[in-house]
């Protein structure tokens, strides 16, 4: 039925003009449908007016007067099937033609190779002719509809660039927020506060969940219940001990955001699984903690497979219109630095960094022995920012680790 739908689509003159001749050769159709296509070609070249299916059928019988009764019945069935077929979307039709065309050419190439190997063809000259004839035609012309770039459209798009606002005041003032389609990398050394950071911007008061965003957190490093406990403390602004002592107060605060927070232990899963989750759940915000551990090893080189994974994650963000946060370790070179830079992303040269719309690298200075309790200052280094405003620089915050909140 596909070739009949395609034939019906070709009756649209504008589409036909883009795909006529070698762009849509007769050979891609089966024998009987090919005969109908040849009459369609004749009609399109002969008549300027539009062509109905009734016109095409009448012209077909007029140009095939020697059909037997049996053959005529066969073609009557074909025309009835065409009438009952739906036309294809132009882009789908383009794809169908392209794939059918390449299959036919591929079969021609395979046959020439088979004949050459078996001695029935003593030259590969026919193969060269095929390549020369079709090298520009493996993909038929496509009518491309470009994006609306009017002033009103661009201004409206700019307004939605920051649909979900950061709740850390200094971060919000300089970066404002994120939206669906954005790919954000958050990097830090171990035990610096990566998990507390995403718990804070999602679960704490005025965070993404409080704003109504559906947030999915896929964790493959810490156990889900440990991550969940930080989200609970961040949402309630209470330590776990305080929650035990005042359960009703904690429940009242937590219930405001809990329905928008979905945490899943994802140990051993890869990005194909992540994509399936996103397709099913349709989150507004997706946290990958840790992003690198979702990367399938597509290469022996770490930087290559991490680059490929970052590209995949960015495509997930764009295709499913969600903001993706990719949590990453920083290398030992970032230890004790307030301002780590993007070259310190572990395992990656420039691949991951190149895909990011926004990169937040969390730094902290070394704490002298005996002053561990004072280790609360964190520096959010906006190392890359393609979003609204384009701010780059350092934002200094305080981390309240016991309640997983970043504050000014």
Query: 272 phi and psi, to 5 degrees?
Result: -65, -40
CA-based radius of gyration for the chain: 30
| Whole-number pLDDT of residue 91 | 85
Q: What is the pLDDT of residue 311?
A: 94
Which of these, 322, 342, 237, lies nearest to 280 by C-alpha position?
322
Q: Which pLDDT does position 371 carry in this prediction? A: 60
Long-range contacts from 220-226, C-beta under 8 angstroms, 24+ separation: 220/265, 220/266, 220/267, 220/268, 220/269, 220/289, 220/290, 220/293, 220/294, 221/289, 221/290, 221/293, 222/195, 222/289, 223/265, 224/263, 224/264, 224/265
pLDDT for 316 equals: 95
DSSP-based three-state secondary structure for 151: helix
Tens digit of pLDDT at every position of the chain (408 positions): 788 898 888 888 888 888 777 667 777 888 898 899 899 988 888 887 778 899 999 999 998 888 898 888 999 999 999 999 988 888 888 888 878 877 777 887 888 888 878 877 776 677 766 666 665 554 544 556 788 888 888 887 777 778 999 999 999 999 989 999 999 999 999 999 999 999 999 999 999 999 999 999 999 999 999 999 999 999 999 999 999 999 999 999 999 999 999 999 999 999 999 999 999 999 999 999 999 999 988 888 999 999 999 999 999 999 999 999 999 999 999 999 999 999 999 988 788 999 999 999 999 988 766 666 668 999 999 999 998 778 999 999 999 999 999 998
Cα within 13 Å of Cα(168), Cβ side: 26
Domain ranges of the chain: 2-134, 155-407
Given this model, what pLDDT does residue 29 score? Answer: 86
User: Residue with structure tokens 């383009």?
Assistant: 94
Architecture of domain 155-407: 3-Layer(aba) Sandwich (3.40)
Predicted TM-score of the model (pTM)? 0.66
The angle subtended at Cα 405 by Cα 401 and Cα 408, nearest 5°, is: 110
**Residue 22: per-residue pLDDT:** 65
Q: Is 8 exposed, middle or buried (0-12, 13-18, 19+ CB in 10 A)?
A: buried
């Amino acid at each position: 039925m596909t070739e009949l739908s395609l034939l019906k689509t070709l009756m649209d003159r504008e589409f036909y003009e883009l795909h006529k001749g070698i762009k849509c050769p007769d050979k891609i159709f089966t024998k009987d449908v090919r005969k109908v296509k040849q009459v369609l070609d004749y009609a399109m070249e002969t008549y300027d007016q539009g062509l109905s299916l009734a016109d095409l059928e009448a012209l077909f019988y007029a140009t095939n007067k020697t059909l037997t009764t049996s053959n005529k019945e066969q073609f009557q069935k074909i025309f009835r099937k065409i009438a009952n077929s739906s036309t294809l979307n132009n882009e789908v039709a383009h794809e169908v033609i392209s794939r059918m065309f390449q299959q036919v050419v591929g079969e021609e190439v395979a046959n020439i190779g088979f004949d050459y190997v078996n001695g029935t063809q003593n030259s590969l000259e026919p193969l060269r002719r095929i390549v020369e004839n079709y090298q520009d035609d493996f993909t038929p012309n496509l009518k491309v509809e470009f994006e609306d770039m009017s002033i009103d459209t661009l201004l409206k798009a700019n307004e939605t660039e920051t649909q979900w606002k950061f709740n850390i005041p200094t971060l919000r003032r300089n970066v404002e927020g994120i939206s669906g389609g954005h790919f954000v990398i958050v990097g830090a050394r171990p035990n610096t506060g990566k998990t507390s950071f995403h718990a804070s911007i999602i679960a704490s008061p005025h965070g993404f969940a409080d704003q109504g965003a559906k947030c999915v957190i896929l964790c493959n490093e810490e156990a889900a219940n440990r991550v969940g406990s930080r989200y609970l403390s961040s949402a309630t602004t209470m330590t776990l001990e305080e929650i035990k002592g005042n359960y009703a107060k904690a429940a009242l605060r937590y219930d405001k955001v809990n329905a928008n927070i979905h945490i899943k232990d994802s140990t051993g899963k890869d990005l194909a699984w992540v994509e399936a989750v996103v397709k099913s759940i349709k989150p507004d915000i997706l946290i990958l903690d840790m992003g690198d551990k979702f990367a399938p090893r597509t290469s022996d080189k770490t930087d290559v497979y991490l680059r490929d994974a970052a590209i995949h994650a960015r495509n997930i963000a764009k295709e499913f219109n969600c903001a993706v946060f990719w949590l990453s370790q920083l290398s030992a070179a970032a230890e004790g630095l307030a301002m780590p830079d993007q070259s310190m992303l572990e395992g990656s040269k420039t691949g991951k960094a190149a895909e990011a719309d926004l990169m937040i690298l969390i730094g902290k200075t070394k704490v002298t022995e005996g002053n561990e309790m004072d280790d609360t200052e964190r520096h959010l280094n906006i190392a890359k920012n393609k979003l609204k405003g384009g701010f780059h620089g350092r934002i200094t915050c305080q981390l309240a680790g016991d309640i997983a909140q970043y504050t000014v």
